[in-house]
Amino acid sequence: MEITHYLRTSLSLDVCATCHEHATCQQREGKRICICNYGFVGNGRTQCVDKNECQFGATVVCGNHTSCHNTPGGFYCICLEGYRATNNNKTFIPNDGTFCTDIDECEVSGLCRHGGRCVNTPGSFECYCMDGYLPRNGSEPFHPTTDATSCTEINCGNPPEMRHAILVENHSSRLGGVARYVCQEGFESPGGKITSVCTEKGTWRESTLTCTEILTKINDVSVFNDTCVRWQMNSERINSKIVYVISIKGQRLDPIESVHEETVKLTTDSRTPEVCLTLYPGTNYTVHISIAPPRRSVPAVIGFQTAENDILEDDGMFNISIFNETCLKLNRHSRKVGSEHMYQFTVLGQRWYLDNFSHATSFNFTTRERVPVVCLNLYPTTDYTVNVSLLRSPKPHSVQITIATPPAVKQTISNISGFNETCLRWNIIKTVDMEEMYLFHIWGQRWYQKEFVREMTFNISTSSQDPEVCLELHPGTNYNVSLRALSSELPVVISLTTQITEPPLPEVEFFTVHGGRLPRLRLRKAKEKNGPISSYQVLVLPLALQSTFSCDSEGASSFFSNTSDADGYVAAELLAKDVPDEAMEIPIGDRLYYGQYYNAPLKTGKDYCIVLRITSEWNKVRRHSCAVWAQVKDSSLTLLQMVGVGLGSMAVVIILAFLSFSAV
């Protein structure tokens, strides 16, 4: 009996001594046997070969977006590039519930460089150009580490030339910039204003309207007072002054043959112009009337004979006509030659648009000429009354004439600049302490709000040499401001861009929840009053942070990148273009991704503050507005969250069971 027990013990010891290095000696049914360790397969004595758990494929063993790595007796999983493990470690074993989630590379600001917009994709990201920018050196989408593509602000450069039209103002060559044209003298645009717009393709969209030539006709030419001519204009589309060319040719045969040729110019805006000519008595005249270039006209011709005049004495009579805008031509009726005459000029000028403006002067003028020309020193854009009296004449005579001087053709405004975003200052070339009126014409447009158009016209008066004015402009708007001194015909144009301000406060109904179910967040689209709306965010914060939370804070991150609940996290983000015009509902904690953010369930028993934040971003400026939607005290899972937790627990059990089965 002792010998048998000894032999049995020795045999058992011998079996255990023969176990493979990757095997363990175990007792089964009273016997000692060698069994390969976990992760190895074989007979336990002569062979224990490593079991390759990865043979079923990384997706089956480790989950989506992974690579499986076999080790002696085991294995480990690694997330593919662009993904990270939810346990925040480089390696993991899936039986602890760890899985690979997408890394939101777009959380890093400036990733797509200036003008670029980052869009997260599974395992990576793509870059697109923001509105108002175009891709250069490549196409969209692009990747900043592998592509040379960059985003440049849309700049259309110089506007196209329009036939018979003049570009009348400085313009913005950015997206939505408008170049405006006016037709040259003698041309018109019957279809309306001619404009060209800078498009999103970086090119100008030319106008379909054109400038067509105005053909003016001179009608009903007649003679009055023996030497005066009048006529009528047929064009009602001309509002500016017209320069007429009157060609005179006269011939007299008795007592000796003589020829009188002369050309006179008349500038007037009258529809029934008239002019008195200096003609010889008893002479046959042909008068040819036309309009000076660049206008075109159908000319008119009239022939007549002046009356004989045998009166040689001086009757003191004379008449006046306007010659070259600020010059007067005096025409004496006397046929005496060489006698000296003295005229007294009294000049009074006023501007209809300025109550305190007055220009008065008086002087005497002596001449022996029968048809002298006197040029006056007059201010532009002024209505003058000129009274001329003949002095030292047996028959005193006075003639009064009105002159309306045109605006100056040279620019009087210089060094215009903007300050404080909505204010302008400039210098003016004028007489010191003389009051001037300025006409403002302001156009405002927004590229992000096509229906937004603001146009204002007003005037101010000041005697300052360095005027300043602050304008009432809307935020987040591109403006073109045309400024003209009424004494000049040339405006100056400057572009102003106002920065955005805070968007409107979110329209939410406030809730306080004590341990009950949390209602759905009802998101309403905000109006773009102060700038373009770029995104909407739902922030989950510890209730203790509500009093210290700053709406402009950029510290809140995604749920997975947040190591603790101390700072809160972004539960959802929606781009403005993805928010419908009608209200939409968002369940808090539904385990879905909104944008790049995971809407995680609220932890039970915690106190939270849920904030809705609206972000407006434009021209490198970002503004926010926030509203507290709900205060949650002693939070509990909603029905939707409980279903999610149950399904998640079931999935973990299934995975563990599968791995255990594989290891056998």
The 3-state secondary structure of 564-630, one letter per residue: CCCCCEEEEEEEHHHCCCCCEEECCCCCCEECCEECCCCCCCCCEEEEEEEEEEECCEEEEEEEEEE
According to the model, what pLDDT value does residue 336 have?
52
According to the model, what pLDDT value does residue 371 have?
84
Is residue 37's pLDDT more than 50? yes
Q: Please state the rounded mean pLDDT for residues 436-447.
A: 91
CA–CA gap between residue 538 and residue 586 (Å, rounded): 9
According to the model, what pLDDT value does residue 657 have?
32
* Unique residue bearing structure tokens 């645009």: 189
According to the model, what pLDDT value does residue 315 have?
62
Is residue 152's pLDDT more than 70? yes
Q: Please state the rounded mean pLDDT for residues 140-169.
A: 85
Q: Please state the rounded mean pLDDT for residues 580-600.
A: 90
Q: Which of 66-75, 231-240, 244-253 has the lowest mean pLDDT?
A: 231-240
Q: 403-422 burial string, b = 16+ CB within 10 Å, else e?
A: bbbebbeeebbeeeebeeeb
Q: Each residue of 546-564: pLDDT tens digit?
A: 888 889 887 668 887 765 6
3-class secondary structure for 452-497? Answer: EEEEEEEEEEECCCCCEEECCCCCCCEEEEEEEECCECCCEEEEEE
Looking at every residue in the chain, the average pLDDT score rounds to: 83
Containing 641, the helix (H) or strand (E) segment is helix 639-663
According to the model, what pLDDT value does residue 442 have?
94
Q: 78-103 burial string, b = 16+ CB within 10 Å, else e?
A: bbeebbbbeeeeeebebeeebbbbbb
Task: Report how far Cα 188 is from the mean position of its chain's Cα atoms.
Answer: 30
**Residue type for 358, please?**
S
Is residue 642's pLDDT more than 70? no
Looking at per-residue pLDDT, the higher value among 424 and 357 belongs to 424
CA–CA gap between residue 75 and residue 66 (Å, rounded): 13
Q: Please state the rounded mean pLDDT for residues 478-482.
A: 94
CA–CA gap between residue 521 and residue 610 (Å, rounded): 10
Cβ atoms of residues 102 and 89 within 8 Å: no
Cβ atoms of residues 42 and 48 within 8 Å: yes
Q: Each residue of 510-549: pLDDT tens digit?
A: 989 988 888 999 999 999 889 999 999 999 999 988 888 8
Q: Where are the beta strands (DSSP E) in 279-421?
A: 284-291, 296-298, 300-305, 318-323, 327-332, 341-350, 359-367, 373-375, 383-391, 397-404, 413-419
Q: 427 falls in which pLDDT band (50, 70, 90)?
A: very high
In whole angstroms, how large is the CA radius of gyration of the chain? Answer: 47
Q: Each residue of 337-378: pLDDT tens digit?
A: 456 788 899 999 998 888 888 899 999 998 878 788 999 999
Q: Each residue of 282-338: pLDDT tens digit?
A: 888 999 998 887 777 778 898 888 887 644 455 667 888 888 888 998 887 655 545
Is residue 653's pLDDT more than 80? no
| Residue 658 phi, psi (nearest 5) | -65, -45
- % pLDDT > 90, the chain: 27
Is residue 641's pLDDT more than 80? no
Cβ atoms of residues 375 and 400 within 8 Å: no
CA–CA gap between residue 573 and residue 568 (Å, rounded): 15
Q: 178 falls in which pLDDT band (50, 70, 90)?
A: confident
Q: Each residue of 229-242: pLDDT tens digit?
A: 998 887 655 567 88
Is residue 660's pLDDT more than 50? no
Q: How many other CB atoms sit within 10 Å of the CB of residue 268? A: 16
CA–CA gap between residue 564 and residue 55 (Å, rounded): 37
According to the model, what pLDDT value does residue 311 have?
43
Cβ atoms of residues 528 and 579 within 8 Å: no
Is residue 655's pLDDT more than 50? no
CA–CA gap between residue 462 and residue 353 (Å, rounded): 12
3-class secondary structure for 129-186? Answer: ECCCEEEECCCCCECCCCCCCEEEECCCCCCCCCCCEEECCCCCCCCCCEEEEEECCC
Is residue 172's pLDDT more than 90? no
**Residue type for 584, please?**
M
Is residue 659's pLDDT more than 80? no
Q: Please state the rounded mean pLDDT for residues 494-521.
A: 90
Cis peptide before 294 (omega within 30 of 0): yes
Cβ atoms of residues 275 and 262 within 8 Å: no
CA–CA gap between residue 602 and residue 631 (Å, rounded): 12
Cis peptide before 587 (omega within 30 of 0): no
According to the model, what pLDDT value does residue 470 have?
94
